[in-house]
Amino acid sequence: MTAFPVLRVARPTGNLDALLRFYEQGLGLTLLHRFEDHEGFDGIMLGGPGAPYHFEFTRAHGHAAGRAPSEDHLLVFYLPDPAEWTAAMVRMHAAGFAAVPAFNPYWDRMGATFEDPDGYRVVLQREAWNR
């Protein structure tokens, strides 16, 4: 494989509008696509334009998606630039989201953890991924 594939992280939800607010207004992702009643599913896709990843959240008509299975289901964003990390924190707080204590205390040492409306957690990590 010579090029990296685009990664889509997809999961069900019963809270499309609440997730849109969390990921768009809070995390600053862009709404890339929205669809309604596509073979019984509604959904949204968020990411950065041109980024090699995006997130898809879908709601199946007549199906309850449930919440995260544990407090340790994480998405981690590495933000090594102090100004970028601070801006992300300000954006989350301005959108009405407060940090929660991480299940694994490692994440609290160099970052902040936020819980989305479905109970899945997002870490804003104030360091680079160097491996």
| pLDDT tens digits, 70-92 | 999 999 999 999 999 999 999 99
Mean pLDDT of the chain: 95
Domain 74-125 has CATH 3.10.180.10: yes
Domains 7-60 and 74-125 share a fold: yes
What is the CA angle 100-103-104, rounded to 5? Answer: 120
Q: State yes or no: pLDDT of 2 exceeds 80.
A: no
Render pLDDT for 8-26 as a digit per residue (tens, 0 to 9).
Answer: 999 999 999 999 999 999 9
What would the CATH number be for the domain defined by 7-60?
3.10.180.10
Domain residue spans of the chain: 7-60, 74-125
pLDDT of residue 117: 97
